[in-house]
């Protein structure tokens, strides 16, 4: 009854952590493509090839449903995967829609026409590939009108987190928030549109100020997965064991993961 969680590296652990708290009985197969992170500076074909390869590997561990816990892969590859890669008994779900539904005060599956919502000035922090895909703005336009989105491509933050250099990551976050504020001085809400960024959430909140509501994905995705599995229990795969797979160096990745989640995490080679 396992479910898969995929990310380019360590960021998806923020989603894994929330899912394991929300669904403690579901075994989770995590795949971090650490050898190829960051995805945020790659082109769409490259991201598609890497993501499909990782998802295919995860199927071997008995998962039929994979959460693409990576905004960059969700933005650059998910639609193409759903159209021309996934067999009928497999599914991949992205991390954008639950977040946008929360921002636009919608229930799951509410497909009514776009309408005016409370927030009007939204700051989006994401990787360069996610920002240039404009996938966030596209999904938002299906659901809301009159929302002004200012996107800030946060170059370097994912690399710094993957390297465990949190001092550099913090300095970069502060300079990206400053750059955003020069373009949009008073955002009402900020979206952390990369699953690595919740690891820096207090820095984002501090740099943005207490009056900005910061949306991060982990809990929203966990809630929406629980809801999905209630409707589609047959999507629980045959796997019975939780495991952590990486394309990178298992010892190094395990040490960073243990530091981030504050519990022992043991990766093995994918």
Q: Which of 6, 31, 39, 125 binds ligand DGL (CB under 6 A)?
A: 39
| Residue 122, CA atoms < 13 Å, CB-side half-sphere | 23
Segment lying near ligand DGL (by CB under 6 A), choices 32-40, 117-125, 227-235, 255-263: 32-40
Question: What is the rounded distance in angstroms from the CA atom of residue 119 to the CA atom of residue 123?
Answer: 11
Q: In this structure, are residues 208 and 22 in contact, taking their beta carbons and an 8 Å threshold? A: no
Q: In this structure, are residues 6 and 69 in contact, taking their beta carbons and an 8 Å threshold? A: yes
Closest CA relative to residue 77, chosen from 112, 18, 109, 36? 36
- Residues with Cβ < 8 Å from 9, sequence gap 6 or more? 32, 33, 34, 37, 38, 158, 161, 162, 196, 248
Q: Which of 58, 67, 70, 192 binds ligand DGL (CB under 6 A)?
A: 70
32 binds ligand DGL (CB under 6 A): no
Segment lying near ligand DGL (by CB under 6 A), choices 1-9, 102-110, 116-124, 240-248: 1-9
Q: Is the Cβ of residue 181 or residue 196 nearer to ligand DGL in the bound state?
A: 196
Query: Was 133 annotated as part of a binding site?
Result: no
140 binds ligand DGL (CB under 6 A): no
**Catalytic status, residue 92:** no
CA distances, 91 to each of 132, 222, 258 (Å): 25, 16, 29
37 binds ligand DGL (CB under 6 A): yes
Q: Which of 4, 5, 6, 9 binds ligand DGL (CB under 6 A)?
A: 9
Q: How far is the CB of 181 from ligand DGL (least distance, A)?
A: 22
User: Residue 187, preceding bond cis, omega within 30 degrees?
Assistant: no
Annotated binding residues, written as ranges, equal 7-8, 39-40, 71-72, 195-196
What is the binding site for ligand DGL (CB under 6 A)?
7-9, 11, 37-40, 70-72, 127, 130, 158, 194-196
């Amino acid at each position: 009854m396992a479910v898969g969680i995929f990310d380019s590296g360590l960021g998806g652990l923020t989603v894994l952590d929330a899912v394991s708290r929300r669904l403690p009985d579901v075994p989770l197969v995590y795949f971090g493509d650490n050898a190829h992170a960051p995805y945020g500076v790659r082109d769409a074909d490259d991201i598609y090839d890497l993501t499909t390869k990782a998802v295919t590997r995860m199927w071997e561990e008995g998962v039929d449903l994979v959460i693409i816990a990576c905004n960059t892969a969700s933005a650059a590859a998910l639609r193409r995967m759903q159209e021309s890669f996934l067999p009928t008994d497999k599914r991949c779900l992205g991390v954008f829609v639950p977040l946008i539904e929360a921002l636009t005060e919608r229930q799951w599956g509410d497909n009514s026409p776009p309408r005016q919502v409370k927030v009007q000035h939204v700051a989006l922090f994401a990787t360069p590939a996610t920002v240039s895909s404009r996938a966030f703005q596209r999904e938002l336009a299906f659901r809301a009108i009159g929302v002004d989105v200012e996107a800030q491509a946060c170059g370097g933050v994912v690399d710094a987190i993957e390297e465990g250099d949190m001092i550099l990551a913090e300095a970069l976050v502060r300079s990206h928030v400053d750059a955003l504020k020069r373009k949009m001085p008073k955002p009402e809400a900020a979206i952390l549109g990369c699953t690595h960024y919740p690891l820096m959430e207090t820095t984002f909140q501090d740099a943005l100020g207490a009056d900005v509501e910061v949306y991060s994905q982990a809990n929203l995705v966990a809630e929406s997965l629980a809801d999905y599995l209630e409707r589609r229990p047959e999507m629980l795969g045959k796997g019975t064991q939780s495991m952590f797979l990486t394309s990178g160096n298992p010892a190094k990745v395990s040490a960073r993961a243990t530091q981030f989640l504050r519990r022992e995490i043991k990766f093995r080679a994918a």
